[in-house]
Chain A
Amino acid sequence: MDLDNLYQELIVDHGTQPRNFAELDSHSHDAEGFNPLCGDLVHVYVKLDGDKIADVSFTGKGCAISTASASIMTDLVKGKTLTEVRALFKQFQDLLTKDNQSEVELGKLSALAGVKKYPSRVKCATLAWHTLQDACKE
């Protein structure tokens, strides 16, 4: 059923025990993201090495969906270039909003595919990603 689709073990796991959940001591970039609808707050820290994300972490307070999404994101984007991250985010957004999207390259992120059936929760799932992009701007 929909619900088990949305709250998969992986999501609950990352949502309640997030990875990379700390301020990055040596970050070069950071940004804060806020979802006024539910009061979710996320702070993303990035250490850029040229065009590459050498390290990334986050702190904040949010629902299981936004926390899990942030946690999986930090696992996934480490070592990737900003161009690769942008492409990945685009693919992830498509997964959440469009039908019949490929989940091949998304890895653990595809666990969030269930969000598509809950349009009011798409913002929760993308908050950390938007914040990561904000952090890497300039």
Chain B
Amino acid sequence: MSEQTLRVTCLKKYFATRRGTVRAVDGVSLSINRGETLALIGESGSGKTTVANTVIGKYVPTEGQILLEGNSIAQLIYKRPKALRQRVQMVFQDPGSSLNPRRTVKQTLGLPLKLYHHESREERKQRMLELLERVELSSEYLTKVSSALSGGEKARIGVARALAAEPTLVILDEPTSALDVSIQAKIINMLLRLQRELTLSYLFITHDLSLMRNVATHAAIMYLGEICETSQKEEFFRNPLHPYTKMLLSSVPVVSREEEAMKPFKTVLKGEIPSPIDLPSGCRFHTRCPERQTHCSEQTCELLEVHTGHWARCHHFSEAPQ
């Protein structure tokens, strides 16, 4: 199970705009093993969707390397784009807009089946029924038009479409953020079951920490195009290192006083994320950091392995590791 599905090394993606260069992703490294889930967490504007779009080949990286099962995506996209698309599939944020309102479920699911697997009509029908069963929908959905489905049903079809290509890596871009809480749980459970059944690797993009707790095996926190902390999930909740992580954990709404008392920080995250065009000097988080020191705004800091497998990017650890 240690086979590496995805390895991203020092990925950079800059966009040239009229107002300057947007450094959307600025040196991100991460890896996902087969059957594991990496949760990529960050506020809007932190660059997590750009990472996803670069991995699926929509954007060409400015710098850095992406390896999919040992093969470079930069080469795959030119030589065998079909192979890349087949192995990396994406479940989109808004299930409503990711399905063409005028096409039937059969047409939606049939497309990847037809293009990737060249099966006969009969086999295809059989595969579609299997897929519907996997996402817990009955066969009568085949003839329905997407616009006639409910939000939860659309989300399931979105997952089924991604699975149709038989990928090894599925990118889930906030797959449940547009859904009711009760449906969210069902979809998440379904995704976990599918991961077990098909040994899928997930890159789970979200800003919801409690959701991450249920899904992920590993977590990476992004802030302004950089990863500021990454570790295994348990370690992450037990011993958050980066001030940003601590603040994110504190801002999760909780019900009881006891839970409130357990929070590592009492302060809630203040302010807005700075513009990725005009990045803060030194540590990128210093403008909002409650533990800021004078040198934080002057020296950039590196991602350091503070404990085994637990990396953080903060000046507190560059001087004297805990």
Q: Do A and B come from one complex?
A: no
Residues of A within 8 A of B (CB): none
